[in-house]
Amino acid sequence: MLRAIDRDRYRVIPIGITRDGVFVLEDDDPDKFALDADRLPEVVDNGTRVVWPEGGADRVLRVRRADGGVDELGRLDVVLPILHGLHGEDGTVQGFFDTLGIPYAGGGVLDSALCMDKHFMKIVLAAAGVPVSPWVTVTRSRWESDPEGVRADAAALGEPSFVKPARAGSSVGVSKVHVASELDAALALAFAEDDKVLIESAIVGREVEVAVLEGRNGSGARASLPGEIVLTTREFYDFEGKYLGGSGADVVCPADLTEAEIAAIQELGIRAFDAVDGRGLARVDFFLAADGLYVNELNTMPGFTPISMFPKCWIASGMTYPELITELIDTALERAA
């Protein structure tokens, strides 16, 4: 879901994208897109077509109605792209808005693309001296041509391990491999989502996360108080636990940490954000192990649901939800200026 903000008239214009890539004018009704385990929400084609500004001096947002008539919705000031996954977090829509000269909140093309691809994200973080879990990247072609070599590489990482698509999110296609006999099925699940897959050593430790915001007026990025994912009955923080309120995982913020641990997490979160040339915002996920901190991943457009860690961390740090959204919008407008 995109939200085009017309600040001159204080209007929020919801824009949906269908599975076929059609931009439609949506209803300003949050309940319509409530997360339900029995029926996940979906943007459907209602016959409208959002007509984006043509670039240059044109900043007017228009909609073509189902009957063919065109209405002007007002001057477009900024877009808040609340989009996950491919075409939302991978830099694609960000490049689209850059081409049109439309300001938008959140990550840019580079940091979005880097963080969407876990293989390149790890390479960049490791090059910047940010600790990451040991891993091997496997392409579909290599798995098909050299399965024994892949199994040997996986064995060298130890057990248990995690298998995940390189360019998917929300824990889709992720498996925990306890013994070697589970590897083939885990790879099949991951390859159903992407033709490039990571096998990672499982880090034993607490799962902590910190929310990062881009600095304002030339200042550096800043980090919130950390939160923690406390697993009770789940093996890992999967899609159901993240978005559907499933039992077995609790989101706790602020986390029960020492002042030294909080400072270390905030410092490393900002280092990771800077390493990927972060813009706007990110949620940085860590493992706090006995031998130190490891960055698991960065999300350049993290969840904003009532149970999501990113807003919870900033609320725990003294910011209200409306102030957080305002901060993202004002940062985007300041960058554009």
Binding-site positions read 118, 162-164, 170-171, 200-207, 285, 296-297, 299
Dihedral of CA atoms 310, 33, 61, 18 in degrees, nearest 10, equals 110
Integer angstrom CA distances of residue 16 from 100, 103, 156, 262: 18, 18, 45, 38
CB of 175 within 8 A of CB of 190? yes
Q: Are 105 and 78 in contact (CB under 8 A)?
A: yes
Element (H, E) at 87: none
User: Which residues fall in the annotated binding site for ATP?
Assistant: 118, 162-164, 170-171, 200-207, 296-297
Token pair in block for residue 283: 């949620």
The Cα 211–Cα 226 span in angstroms is: 7
Pair of tokens at residue 81: 């792209």
- Concatenate the DSSP letters of all residues of 195-259 into one string: SEEEEEEPPPEEEEEEEEE--STTPPPEE---EEEEESS-SS--HHHHHS--TTEEEESS----H
Residues 6+ apart with CB under 8 A from 236: 162, 171, 174, 176
Q: Which residues carry a binding-site annotation for Mg(2+)?
A: 285, 297, 299
Report the C-alpha gap between 150 and 142 in whole angstroms: 8
Q: Residue 264: left (phi > 0), alpha (psi -120 to 50), or beta?
A: alpha
Bridge pairing between strands 78-81 and 175-177: unpaired
Contact between 200 and 187 (Cβ < 8 Å):
no
Listed residue (231, 209, 233) closest to 308, CA to CA = 209
Tokens describing residue 130: 């940010």
